[in-house]
Amino acid sequence: IRDSTVLVTGGAGFIGSHLVEALTPHNEVRVLDDFTTGDRTHLPDDVTVIEGDIRDPIALQQAARGVDVIFHHAALVSVERSVDAPRQSNRTNLEASLLVLEQARQEDARVVVASSAAVYGHPEELPVSETTPTNPTSPYGVQKLALDQYTRLYEELYDLPTVALRYFNAYGPRQRGPYSGVISTFLEQARAGEPITVEGDGEQSRDFVHVSDVVRANLRAATTDAVGEAFNIGTGQRTTILELAEIVRDATGSSSPIVHRDARPGDIRHSGADTTKATRELEFGARIDLESGIRSLVDGG
Ligand code: UD2
């Protein structure tokens, strides 16, 4: 998209900051972030930063005034924390998201929201398509599913152009912290020469999608005619956690041993995206396979 005024909520976070970087050369970009996990140093200079919480209607109103598109990436991303404190995560992931949708309605702005493969829970079929039954196994998944459904409803009821992107396991530079995902954990362990900790037997599998592909999906969603829809955003390739451990070891040249720990309670066994719909309607296809994505992380990010 070009020559637009856009708001990225959670724009200083992992996915948000990469999106901001892609948007800034051709658009006027605003970021709303409370910087609890986001990082100012990830933001280009020519971005307007509003420091605030998305639960704060005043901050949101200020940030959204006059925008053409809102990319909604602010969230409490920890699945475990949503299990411990479901109401707290509901307030940010769902209630505040509704504020974002309401604000978009006010401004007549397009909205692209970050949904999740968590909406499928333990999937009934693999790979999962958008018509696979949704059975979230965590409050986080329920919240993302409700957001996903509200997004569709806002198109139906109020004619607002909305798109929900169901991310599978996103990875890439700047992903770090306690909820950052298995790839950044394994890379840190391999670099430090510490044991790579595989939880359970390691035969569980995921669809790892590079953040630059996630960003491209967002840019497509910003202009598509296929509104009121949800799309799986993954690569269509599944990798087991044991295979991942080997890939990370090879890419880093590390001699870290692979050790096994207890499996995570409630861990999803297999997750993989059918991306036919995104290919057909968004002309989206992931470009970075896992080996090259990890190699570039090792070389640069
Ligand atoms: C991902 C998303 C989450 C939600 C969920 C939906 C990330 C970081 N999280 O959770 O937000 O959308 O999908 O289903 O993308 N593992 C190890 N060793 C480690 C760390 C992890 O073996 O040191 C395993 C873990 O047990 C799991 C797999 O790696 O089987 C992936 O774990 P994760 O935390 O990266 O992501 P996931 O799929 O639980």
Encode the chain (301 residues) as per-residue pLDDT tens digits: 999 999 999 999 999 999 999 999 999 999 999 999 999 999 999 999 999 999 999 999 999 999 999 999 999 999 999 999 999 999 999 999 999 999 999 999 999 999 999 999 999 999 999 999 999 999 999 999 999 999 999 999 999 999 999 999 999 999 987 778 999 999 999 999 999 999 999 999 999 999 999 999 999 999 999 999 999 999 999 999 999 999 999 999 999 999 999 999 889 999 999 999 999 999 999 999 999 999 999 998 5
Nearest C-alpha neighbor of 72 from the set 42, 93, 90, 47? 93
Which atom of ligand 1 lies closest to the CA of 185? 23
Question: What does pTM read for this prediction?
Answer: 0.98
Domains of the chain as residue ranges with CATH: 5-169+211-236+273-282 (3.40.50.720), 171-205+237-272+288-299 (3.90.25.10)
Catalytic position from the list 120, 140, 154, 171: 140
User: Closest Cα to atom 23, ligand 1: which residue?
Assistant: 197
Catalytic site residue 140?
Answer: yes
Whole-complex ipTM: 0.97
Going by C-alpha positions, the residue among 152, 287, 274, 164 that lies closest to residue 216 is 287
Gap from CA of 70 to ligand 1 centroid (Å): 27
Quote the ligand 1 centre to 41 CA distance (angstroms).
26
Distance 235 CA to ligand 1 centre (A): 16
The pick from 135, 199, 290 for probing ligand 1's pocket by mutation, whose C-beta has the most ligand atoms within 8 angstroms, reads: 199
